[in-house]
Amino acid sequence: MLCIQTVSERFFPLNGKKRSYTRVLFKGMNNREASINLRSSFLALVSAIILLSFSSSCVITQSSEQAQQQPNATTGAPAAAVPVIRPEVEIASWYGEHNQDPEAHAVLIETLQPGRVITSHNADKLFNPASIIKLTTSLVALRRLGPDYRFEIKVYADGTLDDKGILHGQLYVMGGAPTFGDAAANMIARELRDMGVKRVDGTVNVSPDFCFNFSESAEESAGRLVKALKLDGPQPKTAVMNEPSGEMLLVFYSHPLREVLLYMNAHSSNFTAERVGNLVGGPTSVQQFLIDELKLPPSEVQLSTVSGREQNRMNAHGIIGVVRALVDETKRHGLKPADILPIADEDNGTLRRRFTGTSLEGAVLGKTGTLTPDVDGGMVSLAGIIYTRDAGEIVFVMLDQGDRLAENRDAEDKLLEEVVKLRAAPAPVPIETPRDLLSASSMRVERRGALQRGRKATA
Domains and their CATH numbers in the chain:
3-61 (no CATH), 91-147+258-421 (3.40.710.10), 152-254+439-453 (3.50.80.20)
Q: How confident is the model at residue 372 (pLDDT cuts 50, 70, 90)?
A: very high
Sign of torsion over alpha carbons 189, 192, 197, 199: negative
What CA–CA distance (Å, rounded) separates 359 from 70? 29
- Model pLDDT for residues 213-259, shown as the tens digit of each residue: 999 999 999 999 999 999 999 999 999 999 999 999 999 999 999 99
Residue type, 30: N
Q: Would you say residue 269 has pLDDT above 50?
A: yes
pTM of the model: 0.81
- Residue 385's DSSP bridge partners are 365, 395
User: When comparing pLDDT for 436 and 177, which is higher?
Assistant: 177
CB of 415 closer than 8 Å to CB of 350: no
For the chain, the average pLDDT equals: 85
Tens-place pLDDT, residues 95-152: 999 999 999 999 999 999 888 999 999 999 999 999 999 999 999 999 999 999 999 9
